[in-house]
Amino acid sequence: MFKAKTIEEDLKSIPKVDGNKYHRTIYGLCGTPVKVDVYRVSDAFPTGSVPIDHAVKKMLCAGLRGHKDKLTDIDNAIESLQAARLLLIQKGEV
């Protein structure tokens, strides 16, 4: 028989290759703590652009992921934003 899972059980079932480096506790407007990750932030603030989403992720975790320093993450975010800009120009959306 199918048993509905709780959100916590669902989160535990997701394989953690890189641990919880993208998980953060934030406080809602009502003061309730909520655990989120950068993907939920991107979902809440959609850009409609994969390169922009990539740059946002880089900036939110700049220097915190362990294998790149902050300056490298900033440089990578700039590259992603430049790619997004070029794509918009080439598609005639600006």
Residue 57 in 3-state DSSP?
A: helix
Distance CA 86, CA 74 (A): 18
* Residue 37 near residue 23, CB atoms below 8 Å: yes
For the chain, the average pLDDT equals 86
Q: Where does the pLDDT of residue 51 fall: very low under 50, low under 70, confident under 90, or very high at 90 and above?
A: very high
Say how many residues make up the chain. 94
Give me the pLDDT at residue 81, please. 97
pTM here?
A: 0.72
